[in-house]
Structure 1
């Protein structure tokens, strides 16, 4: 069998098909699969609990994509809409009841609720099909139940003999001509299998790195060599596993816990904050019967005609009890927002009236003719017609936007303070002996570069509404870098460094994190372009807090730093701040030109626009998308999500639709 097992992961859920971000089982299953080196998730999708849609998808993945394994999650229960078994069973050429029983027997030992699952398994053509329940916990239990035998089952499904496995289980190859003993060919499920999955830890001095056994480059003793190791003995290959983007992002979000809440006054400083409580009106809006226009307060039953003007009401404070009562046959002049006199039932606009008589000096109206018939209540805002006392006007989790609506409502209902999530503080530190401040006013010396990373990331942070600290530039010295990082961790919730995370002699960040700061490095390389050496770690709070601090080591190339900041740091900031929707929005857009794919999944800087005809199109900002060329960020409002190159697909052609992550406004 080929070393790579191509897999399709299908989430079956009405909810997830409408909002893929809510899907937790599919991504959980992908992480379990990709923890093993042989599995490659070729395609992932969410479909509703629809019999025909499920059948079309599974059939296409088996027959057209020729996947080795199709695993679904969801729709196997007793719910009215649960139809996965009914949809999948007719598609199978052969059922595999032994595997279904193995999954059930393992699950029922954990929870009696396993009896409520109607999962099935079997073979269609040369594709093995498994149906799992819809919860991440059940997915993990089901996968672990078959993990040891699954590669062997797939090998047999694809026409293999399983000879190597059998020989391994019997202690080596059988001598030529030796007959097999009864039962010798049957593999036992309790034997260790070379494709079992697990999780290991490599330990540095005071810290550690998490990695999976599937990562061939992971070392069993430590993830980084001592800082004192001479150049001649430095590693020539990174000890950090190269993990897929979705696994890296999930690793970050697993470590982010929203900050606690605080009481804040209602003012412009609330912009960007997330409410941590429902807000209830303590005052009605309006608090009195008010006119919505300039005109005359009338009694609607009086009808058109000439009337004396007996009162004037303008928009101003009125002492309690001082309001004039309007009698039949009289009218009162009133301005927009003015309080209606007692007895008034409608307002006639100025344009529907005619002045008949004024005072001798012309300063006052005495008689006005009403020309129009009005209805009871016309042009009047009744008490509480906008907001009533006790009404919930803002919900917990709502973001106070810069548009001003939330601030305006809060100011109008008598609420003076609200409880919001603390706003995280992020610190930015550039590293490198060659890096100088962009505004130092001095000409560059040979080998120096101006720091564009800090200004860029600080600007993006400010635009997103978060607080920041400029931590300056640290030289390539273990002592200086350790001191700068430690100082940043004491003041900030997140520290972001740029540079020093690759394989160069002066790339010191990872060993300092592990050996000096007791950090846990969750990943040190990602299968992506740009940003391959991006590093994420959690560090014990130097102030003694229970929650660890978050640490991002971004690459030094300006584009790599900017792209990975948008992909990882901003979503982490939003989740820290309490945002319910913290991931970047995406849109499918039509590519205006051919795009050549890289071997790694790529995030190209691009411009998404809407044509006069309403078509959504995207084009790269520049053909040369090197990670050092900051000009490729000019005008970019999106990142075009390009898959890695395969034998079947080497590029994207003009007119094809591609996913784009929106990091700016549409043009």
Structure 2
């Protein structure tokens, strides 16, 4: 367990919610917590005595912020508006009657009026929730009663054994073979409840305190999911996976990726998308001979304008046959673009600056041509090595071979036949679900069936990105079938991408299969984002040694799957392939309409274009950006990066600048 306990302090009062300056209990509690370095107050708020507001805030702080402790003050008495116990009690997965009794027993020794307080304590997920009375004096007394046991209680609630605490109480570690005091055997799955994969309301900072923050969490090494044979009635109802920020999730992915080993490959069109793992040095000069830049006549510039005989030797033919040619003063020679300039020639005159004076009797040869233009020494001639010299570095390590063709053209021109590049990753796509059928099966849909749009969409995006892939088909919602399909995909691919089966449904089996059958480490299972909250990333040990295999379990909704694929998987594939710049390019664009912000940071599908005046504009593809509406991806070339809603900024107004990730070409 982390040495610092992350705490939220919630004041529940009709009066304080209207005038936060009148709140004395919340600040008093924060001051008490601030005297001990092990506590860190990450969020405070003042809300009215409102049942829904209390439930919304406590739920968000437990589920979304993953705090260690939530302390409320107020609303526990007999007043008509006092509803804190009624609001908090249904949220708790387990009550902690011992703590409640201790608070009551010691408080009533101080004042008999403590009997009028209806304190509630318990655990939601891995968060300890305590409800204190509303007066500063009672808050201080209640806090002092529980302060010493809070660290140990939080350790147990978050999956710890309390071993260090017991060792400290017993005077240090026990020798091997000596029994330790009994500690409750608490399994991770039994002390968490799995919540719905939908957004929760967020609290906001009040009274000068900062808004809530998420703490960095290490990947789980122990399974957090319940056994695959757990009946539905005993399934977790709150996710055991912390809800993390987007930047944390991206860092967790990239920390697990190193570029694949190098291979040597021939120079041809198969290089497109590959990343060079060596500097490329020219073994031949370009051009390898003095070459004409245009069609015309090779001349000696000092001869000047005038009529000259055309040498009978065809320069192109002579160069092809390796014949020696030399131009003498007073002679000119017909030459074509790219042709070898004969020895002795110092310039080339274009055809347009000449006139034919005399041809052979049969009209097949030029005999005398008049040069009408004065040319300079070296004009219209490419000297040997003027483009590339022998030994010159023409391509750098880390450079991507583009589909434009320039890199392949240069490699072909300098005599390099093979290059060393990073091995290209292979990504496999597996759709899951009993209801999912191939989109092209030619059959009419039966009740409850849906056509698989995810695999065709993601495969199309992968081909456009120049990445190799394998189609792994559709796996039904069966533990055995899913495990088999994932294992086969991991054998063939560096990354496996699944869609569906990661949320809270009865047949959402991927996370327990990853943890319990494949020995995977799940680095995250929920992200504070819209769409794509249940996106999951895991690493699986490679049976052949070397780098672990990577797996992204994406949501089943087609837009969620597509957006998270662009945000996470393509950058991961690029880094695996050796790209130094693997992230999507980002620009600031002027939004053309108002956007109501969501509580979670959102990635809306949009069209970014450049006007004739040079203004960069962004427009959402559709007002209704539901994650099931694939039409929102139509014509989209970017993702709007919208921040989460706050009281200070509930929306983005037309004309404001917003960050856009470019996933396609500008319109």
Q: TM-score, normalized by length of structure 1?
A: 0.69
Q: Distance in 2 between matches of 1:658 and 1:35?
A: 36
Secondary structure, aligned partner of 2:600: coil
Q: Which residue of 1 aligns with 2:411?
A: 410
**Alignment root-mean-square deviation, CA:** 3.5
- The answer to whether the 8 Å contact 2:604/2:620 transfers is yes
Q: Which residue of 2 aligns with 1:446?
A: 447
Q: Which residue of 1 aligns with 2:285?
A: 284
Change (3 A) 1:292 1:215: closer
- The answer to whether the 8 Å contact 2:4/2:37 transfers is no
The one-character-per-residue Cα deviations of 1:278-328 (angstroms, maximum 9, x if unpaired) are 000000001011111111111111111111112444445736862221111
Q: Which residue of 1 aligns with 2:541?
A: 540
Q: Which residue of 1 aligns with 2:496?
A: 495
The one-character-per-residue Cα deviations of 1:437-464 (angstroms, maximum 9, x if unpaired) are 0000000000000000000000000100
Give 1:336 shift. 1.2
The one-character-per-residue Cα deviations of 1:497-547 (angstroms, maximum 9, x if unpaired) are 0000011110000000000000000000011100000000000113x1221
Give 1:362 shift. 1.6
Change (3 A) 1:354 1:458: same
- The answer to whether the 8 Å contact 1:316/1:338 transfers is no
Change (3 A) 1:242 1:615: same
Q: Which residue of 1 aligns with 2:660?
A: 660
Change (3 A) 1:317 1:274: farther
The one-character-per-residue Cα deviations of 1:1-43 (angstroms, maximum 9, x if unpaired) are xxxxxxxxxxxxxxxxxxxxxxxxxxxxxxx99995669xxxx
Secondary structure, aligned partner of 2:563: helix
The reply to whether residue 480 of structure 1 matches residue 481 of structure 2 is yes
Matching of residues 605-616 of structure 1 within 5 Å: 605-616=605-616
Change (3 A) 1:365 1:502: same
Secondary structure, aligned partner of 1:612: coil
Give 1:153 shift. 13
Give 1:364 shift. 1.3
Q: Distance in 2 between matches of 1:192 and 1:507?
A: 37
- The answer to whether the 8 Å contact 2:597/2:652 transfers is yes
Q: Distance in 2 between matches of 1:381 and 1:33?
A: 71
Q: Which residue of 2 aligns with 1:555?
A: 555
Q: Distance in 2 between matches of 1:471 and 1:514?
A: 21
Change (3 A) 1:400 1:219: closer
The reply to whether residue 239 of structure 1 matches residue 240 of structure 2 is yes
Q: Which residue of 1 aligns with 2:228?
A: 227
- The answer to whether the 8 Å contact 1:519/1:538 transfers is yes
Change (3 A) 1:294 1:215: closer
Q: Distance in 2 between matches of 1:422 and 1:219?
A: 30
Q: Which residue of 1 aligns with 2:307?
A: 306
Q: Distance in 2 between matches of 1:365 and 1:407?
A: 40
Q: Which residue of 2 aligns with 1:620?
A: 620
Larger C-alpha radius of gyration, 1 or 2? 2
Give 1:465 shift. 0.3
The reply to whether residue 376 of structure 1 matches residue 394 of structure 2 is no
Q: Distance in 2 between matches of 1:572 and 1:313?
A: 57
Secondary structure, aligned partner of 2:373: coil
Q: Which residue of 1 aligns with 2:430?
A: 429
Q: Which residue of 1 aligns with 2:118?
A: none
Q: Distance in 2 between matches of 1:389 and 1:660?
A: 44
Q: Distance in 2 between matches of 1:570 and 1:583?
A: 8
- The answer to whether the 8 Å contact 1:609/1:617 transfers is yes
Unaligned runs of 5+ in 2: 10-34, 45-70, 72-101, 112-147, 161-186, 190-212
How many residues align? The count is 497
Q: Distance in 1 between matches of 2:316 and 2:524?
A: 63
Give 1:335 shift. 1.3
The one-character-per-residue Cα deviations of 1:478-505 (angstroms, maximum 9, x if unpaired) are 0000000000000000000000001111
Secondary structure, aligned partner of 1:357: strand
Q: Which residue of 2 aligns with 1:10?
A: none
The reply to whether residue 460 of structure 1 matches residue 461 of structure 2 is yes
- The answer to whether the 8 Å contact 1:313/1:338 transfers is no
The reply to whether residue 603 of structure 1 matches residue 608 of structure 2 is no
The reply to whether residue 297 of structure 1 matches residue 301 of structure 2 is no
Unaligned runs of 5+ in 1: 1-31, 40-145, 156-163, 165-170, 178-190, 206-211
